[in-house]
Structure 1
Amino acid sequence: MVWTPPGARTLREYRRSWLVKDVVAGVVLSTLLVPQGMAYAELAGLPPITGLYTSVLCLLAYAVFGPSRILVLGPDSSLGPMIAATVLPLVAADGDPERAVALASVLALMVGAITILAGVARLGFVADLISKPTMIGYMNGLALTILIGQLPKLFGFSTDADGLVAEVGAFADGLGDGKTVPAAVAVGLGCIALILLLQRLLPKVPAVLVMVVLAVAASVVLDLDEHGVRTVGRLPEGLPPFTLPHIGWGDLGALSVGALGIALVSLADTISNASAFAARTGQEVRGNDEMIAIGTANAAAGLFQGFPVSTSGSRTAVAERAGSKSQLTGVVGAVLILLMLVLLPGLFRDLPQPALAAVVITASLSLADLPGTRRLWRQRKAECCLSVAAFLGVALLGVLPGIAVAVGLSILNVFRRAWWPYSTELGRVPGLEGYHDVRSHPTAAHLPGCTILRFDGPLFFANAKSFRDEVLRVARTTPAPRWILLAAEPITDVDTTAADILQELDAALQERGVRLVLAELKDPVRRKIERYGLTRTFDPSRFHPTVEAAVTAYRALSGARWSDPAQ
């Protein structure tokens, strides 16, 4: 079968009634893409023009390869600090912008290669390596990092500090040394207030566009550059240039570390956004196809002086509210940016730099999820602690180490749950069928001489000893049970280490005169036990299809009767 790009399939299925809606949505979207593209480029430590180049190429590439009809790609506030943390330490001491662009372009190519290979290998599950609590903590830390990093620009000066703590100190020193430009502060705070106010009171109005227009007008009318307010200046004229970036071999190691972290965050962001908008539009999420599309978009950006990209929930929501029906919306937005670069390169030359800082700061506020953190504290304090640890990892160690901390904490949380799974005794509750947790039903009836035990997890090397200790604890109770009946339905696996410990446990119980019996053991798990040779000591009479069958067998053997719950 010949592979067909998703864009070609969309073109074949395109409806004439979508055209006007897509064009209108593309026009609306472009008004957001231009200021955000420039702002996020500067957030990444790159010239503003690279943000526009990146926006154009990733939109066009995703229109061809993207499986979603609604997602919008582009420079993203969550990736900006990661790009800066990877690229800026490798830039020469004089801050050579051309070298920074070359490094960022190679970074985009590496991110593209990683995500394409992962998509081809069907590794979409890697996006699940960061749990939601740790992602909340990571994003909270990222939001604070972005906010602190933009404060000097908002106040009209710059610093060379690296890291949250150092940036706070440098900003405080700048304030103390009188570097603040009052006009810049007024512009920046006014722009932030305007964006937040419009987003709250008039959510359908493009707040960023209104702010940009008013900021440019104020800059021209009030001669803000004469008052020390820096502006964007005239952008380079013409189309994005095709460029094969050149860097040294020694730079590849540091870039590869950053590329892995950026690819992981980009994929997690893309899959979550794709799932959210697919649920609203009735589309199906194809994770591996999304990975290939994201990789292609990054590669395209990297070949035209761009930097790594991701999907944007805010820009996608704008396109959706404007009536977008297909990726033609992104194509229209890209074409309008190209026309601006060719015909009106000086359109934003009077845009104040504090206005760009305002765009970034308001975007960082949308990254933070303080209500989510409070909800975690109410619902599950252990996961809230994981979220706080991820936050501290970003805030104290940096953006790239922070993502490593977030992934590590997510994986450790998985091991923690498997290491100490929930275990309990079961009893019979009047009026309820089956057997139930005695912790939830303290008055549940017990069967004298038979303890029904449930262990909620697979038996493997990490938790086999804790399982053994729990069973031995039950065996040492007074009066000692004759049977320990294991309700084994939740046990989904038994590895060789657990099998050996299970055999040792059975021998220790037999010395005490206690019989270990298993009920509801899954067939695949029982076949593993047989393959391990445990059936030499565990004869067939010790396996029962249900807990009820095992209880019936015990009662027939012992004549025991259920205890009275009232007693």
Structure 2
Amino acid sequence: MASKHTELSDVHGADIRTSSFRDDEENAFAHKVQVPAHIPLVREFEDAVKEVFFPDDPLRKFRNQTPTKKYLLGLFYVFPIFEWMSTYKLQYLKDDLIAGLTIASLAVPQDLGYAKLANLQPIDGLYGSFVPPLIYAVLGSSRHIAIGPVAVVSILLGTLLRHEVNPTNTALYFKLALTSTFFAGVFQAGLGLLRLGFIIDFLSHAAIVGFMAGAAITIGLQQLKGLLGIKNFTTKTDFISVMRSVWRNTHQWSRYSILIGLFFLAFLLITKYIGKRKKKLFWVAALAPLTSVILATAFVRVTHLEKHGVQIVGHIHKGVNPSSIHQLEFSGSLVSKAVRIGLITGLVALTEAIAIGRTFAALEDYQLDGNKEMIALGIMNIIGSCTSCFITTGSFSRSAVNYNAGVKTAISNIVMSIAVLVTLVALTPLFKYTPNCILAVIIISAVISLIDVRAAYLIWKVDKLDFLACMGAFLGVFFISVEIGLLIAVGISLAKVLLHVTRPHTAILGNIPGTNIYRNIQQYPDASRVPGILVIRIDSSIYFSNSNYIRERVVRWVNDEDDRIGNSKGVALQFVILELSPVMSIDTTGIMALEELCRTLQKRKIQLALANPGAQVMEKFHAAKFIELLGDEWFFLTVGEAVHVCSRQLNSSFEN
């Protein structure tokens, strides 16, 4: 029976005829696949700019507002502190004070150790927990992130700096560290302003898990220098070099350092275990590092073990962050080095901070604007570089303590900053006799939590390619260096993306019995093929990078179907229907590939039909005159309609 066709005149003047799903006798109605209305080029450009550079939420809030209201909304958007302070409740203060003092007690000993990871002076670590947290409290939108130096970024910074400048040249080394921090902030703020935060998503979760685990072990191995009391230690970070340095310097091992270190390492691990088992006792684990420093320092001071091989921190001068604007270098050979180091460390710092922020935002059910966070972190590091701070970001361990302490707002960062200020002004001389071994074990206990075996196992179960990225990053950091491991992580993640882009998934669809639904026959074994018709779904946009593969894959499906029909002596293949609903876009090369596919099938007396092409796809089909080539009657709204029309033509040919 002939199908009913309705001719349409779209906004371009093209006539597109579409087939009705039912016979004329069955309340026929026309389903129309239309070309969307033409959008002027200027309008398209404006929409693209808005989508890229302007967040939707603020724009929506600004609509239909008075000038005063718009000013306040703009102020709240740029400075989130004014927004949450306007609704701040006095009962929040107790929780924020407790959280701030708790993370300060954790920050002080960690900062002393993390500065050593970057081959900088211990005081530089404390500087990083004074000014940057204040800046973030004003500009940042996360309630839970605790700001300061972190282990992974510190060792990465130290490794990259050491490749360019010998740490013994302290003045030049410090200049490069500050300049690198400045450029890290510029990159971070720039990515946020341009709304290019998607760049950090190229570091997949699997790559981050592997990178963090490798970095944690590398950082832990580096602490063997302080734990064992070795003076001449390797500057390399890979496992083989570190272990070789350890065993070649057994004569430098200090038994007192080892005993002190192991005792307090056991103490820290036990308190951490208690804090994990009983969430209300989180403060036990949080106060343990500072308690360890106080007890170990007092013990060394009383026993004078510094005279028996126990290395100590030494004198730390008092005072707040000095200005370091004059230390920044914007000319000469240091600039290119600082730009490269700043880019790498800045991206890693961003990745860590955004991951932390998103994690706690999800737990507390609020939204975190990633681009606004990048601006806050970037400005924080730019100002930090002008106040003697090396690169800082959100800390996993401190943020977790902050969360468990019941923090309500970013006031906790301000409280921590004030506590560190008091330490800088009055308490730094007390750390003179702090043994290096205690700082080493504090770092070891802190980075252990970065090794997530359960996450790695889950990645292995879910996706083997993801696990390859995870292990590539881990082994790269473990056996080569931190920066090489990072490059491997990014490289494997990009390779995986390219693999999926260039080799997209396609599937044969079959009819679910008793319905008009068509699904993947591998996923639904009861789905039946339609005799004489092959339905293929393309699960990707069609671009120059994958168009030839898609064309060849469809031809292979056709060849396989011919072989199957030949073996079963079934109905010869006469129609190929492509389900295009997942195809969001197509380029010129993609259209040319479909044209070639159409001609190839025509030579084999097989008709090509397309089901449910999207708006952008139809617009490009129209512009390329592909609709005229294929024939407007072979465009269908659904697979069911396409199969219905093709089946009727098959029946008609049999009758004839």
Displacement of 1:167: 2.3
Question: Contact conserved, 1:448 with 1:560, CA < 8 A, in 2?
Answer: no
Q: Name stretches of at least 5 consecutive residues in structure 2 with no aligned partner.
A: 1-69, 277-281, 566-571
The aligned residue for residue 88 of structure 1 is: 162
Residue 356 (1) aligns with residue 439 (2): yes
Displacement of 1:300: 2.1
Displacement of 1:540: 0.7
- Partners of 1:28 and 1:471 lie apart in 2 by 62
Matched ranges for 1:76-475 at <5 A: 76-92=150-166, 95-158=168-231, 159-164=233-238, 165-175=240-250, 178-203=251-276, 204=282, 205=284, 206-244=287-325, 245-247=327-329, 249-430=332-513, 434-475=517-558
The aligned residue for residue 565 of structure 1 is: none
Residues 143-174 of structure 1: CA deviation (Å, up to 9, x unaligned): 12212222122110131332303223222212
Residues 218-263 of structure 1: CA deviation (Å, up to 9, x unaligned): 2233332122111112211112111221446212222211211111
Question: Contact conserved, 2:100 with 2:402, CA < 8 A, in 1?
Answer: yes
The aligned residue for residue 4 of structure 2 is: none
- Partners of 2:597 and 2:468 lie apart in 1 by 36
- Partners of 1:544 and 1:14 lie apart in 2 by 57
Displacement of 1:20: 2.8
- Larger deviation, residues 402-411 vs 355-364: 402-411
- Partners of 1:270 and 1:40 lie apart in 2 by 17
Q: CA RMSD in A?
A: 2.0
1:174 partner letter? N
Displacement of 1:411: 1.8
- Partners of 1:197 and 1:427 lie apart in 2 by 59
Question: Contact conserved, 1:484 with 1:514, CA < 8 A, in 2?
Answer: yes
- Partners of 1:445 and 1:22 lie apart in 2 by 62
- Partners of 2:289 and 2:237 lie apart in 1 by 28
Question: Contact conserved, 1:261 with 1:404, CA < 8 A, in 2?
Answer: no
Displacement of 1:431: 5.1
Residues 385-438 of structure 1: CA deviation (Å, up to 9, x unaligned): 121112222234422232222222222211111222221211123356511212
- Partners of 2:366 and 2:526 lie apart in 1 by 50
- Partners of 2:403 and 2:456 lie apart in 1 by 28
2:289 partner letter? V
- Partners of 2:305 and 2:495 lie apart in 1 by 53
Question: Contact conserved, 2:472 with 2:485, CA < 8 A, in 1?
Answer: no
The aligned residue for residue 10 of structure 1 is: 84
Displacement of 1:301: 1.7
SS at match of 2:183: helix
2:169 partner letter? D
Question: Contact conserved, 1:82 with 1:258, CA < 8 A, in 2?
Answer: no
- Partners of 2:114 and 2:206 lie apart in 1 by 26
Matched ranges for 1:473-484 at <5 A: 473-476=556-559, 477-478=562-563, 479=565, 480-484=572-576
Displacement of 1:495: 1.3
- Partners of 1:443 and 1:282 lie apart in 2 by 41
1:168 partner letter? M
SS at match of 2:116: helix
- Cα pair distance change 1:169/1:532, threshold 3 Å: farther
SS at match of 1:249: coil
Matched ranges for 1:549-560 at <5 A: 549-559=641-651
Question: Contact conserved, 2:534 with 2:575, CA < 8 A, in 1?
Answer: yes
Question: Contact conserved, 2:397 with 2:446, CA < 8 A, in 1?
Answer: no
Identity among equivalent pairs (%): 29
Question: Contact conserved, 1:142 with 1:399, CA < 8 A, in 2?
Answer: yes
1:530 partner letter? H
- Larger deviation, residues 315-324 vs 299-308: 315-324
- Partners of 2:354 and 2:502 lie apart in 1 by 29
The aligned residue for residue 21 of structure 1 is: 95
Question: Contact conserved, 2:579 with 2:639, CA < 8 A, in 1?
Answer: yes
The aligned residue for residue 48 of structure 2 is: none
Q: Normalising by structure 1, what TM-score?
A: 0.94
